[in-house]
Amino acid sequence: MNKDKVFTKKIEKKFEFDEAVASVFDDMLSRSVPFYDEVRKLLISLILSREKEGLKVLDLGSSTARFLLDLHSKMQVNMRLKGLDNSQAMLDRAEQKCQAFGADIELELADMLTYSYDKEDVIVANYTLQFIRPMQRVELVKRLYEGLNDEGIFVFSEKVVFEDKVLDKEMIDIYYDYKKEQGYSEYEIAQKREALENVLIPFTIKENIQMCKDAGFKSVETVFQWANFVTFVVKK
């Protein structure tokens, strides 16, 4: 796994999922997102509890296909796994990995805002919605509701903000301490924060729940939280 050194040099542009990021993305996730590996395992276990022949699993913002490859390695029957991403650099990496592991996973370069969702059983979006503008995000979740089967589920993880601004600042400071423990320098942390400004726009937990309820979902639960990182399970 290539080590993330994207922000060791001065960044001249906003954050993009380009080749520089794609080449180190797995390391970036593991070191930047607290308990990322555990959450991935949790969601895979949830999907496997519904496992059946032909079950359609769609991963939005599938990046290097790490989640889908892990799911593929554990499934006992042939589920239909598909990843969507709007970054060709990410898909190129994903294609190489799928070929190396001999994994039958469909990958598509697509805009999730306009993609035609059709009778999906499980839709996954791990730290993806937060990069979509709020108004478009609300419309996307409505499209996901319409595109899911009646018994379908939508599982997503997001970075969140807190309504209590003092607590929010405390959680951010704790998170930055976490990143330092993972080997990131203060300069790298500051550089990434600047690059992500106005690119990553988080909601509160309440806003995420309300967004799903407004789309028509009947059940919205949180199944994991560490500070300002939360995983939701949503049922139609």
Are β-strands 148-159 and 219-226 bridged in parallel, bridged antiparallel, or unpaired?
Answer: unpaired
Is 147 part of a structural domain of the chain? yes
Could you list the beta-strand ranges (E) of the chain: 56-60, 80-85, 106-109, 120-126, 148-159, 219-226, 229-235
What does the pLDDT read at residue 100? 87
- Domain containing 134 — which CATH number? 3.40.50.150
Is 164 part of a structural domain of the chain? yes
What does the pLDDT read at residue 9? 43
Residue 219, pLDDT above cutoff 50: yes
How far apart are alpha carbons 129 and 112 in whole angstroms? 10
Q: How many CB atoms lie within 10 A of CB 112?
A: 21
- pLDDT tens digits, one per residue of 57-106: 999 999 889 999 999 999 999 999 999 998 888 898 888 888 888 899 99
pLDDT above 90 covers a percentage of the chain that reads 59
What are the beta bridge partners of residue 80?
56
* Choice among 17-31, 32-46, 90-104, 116-130 with the minimum mean pLDDT: 17-31
Domain that holds residue 101: 6-235
Closest by CA position to 82, among listed 54, 102, 60 = 60
Predicted TM-score (pTM) of the model is 0.83
Mean pLDDT of the chain: 84
How many distinct structural domains can be found in the chain? Answer: 1
- pLDDT tens digits, one per residue of 117-153: 999 999 999 999 988 999 999 999 999 999 999 999 9
* Choice among 48-52, 110-114, 142-146, 187-191 with the minimum mean pLDDT: 187-191
Structural element, H or E, at residue 91: helix 88-101
Burial pattern 165-181, b for ≥16 Cβ within 10 A else e, equals eeebeebeeebeebbee
Phi, psi of 167 (to 5 degrees): -60, -40
Q: How many CB atoms lie within 10 A of CB 87?
A: 21
Higher pLDDT, 150 or 189: 150
Is 1 part of a structural domain of the chain? no
Is 191 part of a structural domain of the chain? yes
**Is the distance from CB of 138 to CB of 214 less than 8 angstroms?**
yes
Is 10 part of a structural domain of the chain? yes
